[in-house]
Amino acid sequence: MSIAIQGPENPFFFPQVDFLERVLRTCHRWRRVWIQTSATDTSPYVQIRDQLPLLEQLSLSADYGTFPWDSLLAFENAPRLREVVLGQGISPDCNRLALPWSQITSLHMNHAVEVADVRAVLSMTPNLRSLSFPYNYKRSNDWEPKCKEDIVNCTSLQRVSVHDAAFFRTVTSPALEKIDLEIYHACYGVEDKNAWVDIFHDFLARSSSPVKALRLEIGESCPDFEKLLNNAFRLTHLDITVSSLCTATTLFRVLASKGDKINVLPQLQFLKATVVEVTQPDTFVEEINLGESTVDMLVSRYCVLSSSMTEIQSAYVDLPCLPTLFWMHLRTRVRDALGLQNLISTTSESGRESLHCFGDDANSHFSKY
């Protein structure tokens, strides 16, 4: 049974006391609950305490920051509760919530978070496998650990989705398998002595995480892709969005196999690369470089020359345009990759060109992971 309780001071939405009482009396059947309220009184919820044998998913939010969450004890004992969503109106001290934290496996904090609060929550959730939050409350430097004790060891954490690399300063996650990271408005540089690439690189080195899937959205200038990816040597799925054709050219050059030399992402099997830029290459040289780097990456990943490399299974490249000389570049490499040309198709939609290479659509593989 799924229940949604919404209670702003709107007569059309605010549940009357008797109606709320009737809803609360069904609590023994609840599996999923969504509560949004502006009330300052938690007494109506007292009756459901210890009466939630089936509850698995819980979402809590408030219109204002006045709701006394620390006195809400209704969900303290819910033996099946595993997934929690904390929405707007939750104070940064959400660790004060009376929840069965030790059994929570999935947590989404859809509100501004502070460093101390995140560390406290992670320390209380030893079985947490999935964590996500959209933005940070403090500046990046505030996440820098002052001592080793400030770094939380999340031994069960497998999936992380964050919009700021600063989070990776404060955790070690030896079991992490999937990372979803967006870099758009991060204020590094003057504010942060460490670029986000350095932070992410150090995290992977510190954790030795078996990360297999990485989704990156990068709205900043071209980063050091080699440093960014060289510690993700077990990665099999890469879904990356970059802002410019120049950045895409650099990325494809880094991803191209270098034979018996040290290669970036030696186990990569599924690649999805998107360039959000809508303009065509500024110069003919830029177009040539993009075409060559794309072909070199595809050919070298299709016909691997090193026993330490895994042959790519599927690639999807979304560009504002297909480089004019792409097919010519490919024909010049045909001896290096017999049959490859027959495994590449293109589609046009909304003025953009997409390359579909090798096997099944890479999109389907990422959605299943």
CB contact at 8 A, 208 and 153: no
pLDDT at 188: 46
Domain boundaries, the chain: 1-111
Residue linked to tokens 């992490």:
176
pLDDT in tens, the chain (369 residues): 888 887 654 444 445 667 788 888 999 999 999 988 766 667 788 889 999 999 999 998 877 666 676 678 899 999 999 999 998 777 667 888 899 999 999 999 887 777 888 888 999 999 999 999 876 655 666 788 888 888 999 999 999 999 888 899 999 999 999 999 998 755 544 454 458 899 999 999 999 989 999 999 998 877 899 999 999 999 999 999 999 889 999 999 999 987 667 789 999 999 999 998 777 777 778 888 889 999 999 998 888 877 788 999 999 999 888 877 888 888 888 777 777 888 888 888 877 889 898 765 555 555 666
CB contact at 8 A, 218 and 248: no
In angstroms, the CA 198 to CA 244 distance is 21
CB contact at 8 A, 354 and 347: yes
CB contact at 8 A, 233 and 266: yes
CB contact at 8 A, 191 and 140: yes
pTM above 0.85, yes or no: yes
CB contact at 8 A, 45 and 74: yes
* All residues at 6 or more sequence positions from 285 whose CB lies less than 8 Å from its CB, including other chains: none
Which amino acid is located at 41 in the chain?
D
Rg (CA), the chain: 24
Q: Angle 120-40-1 (CA atoms, 0-180°, nearest 5)?
A: 75
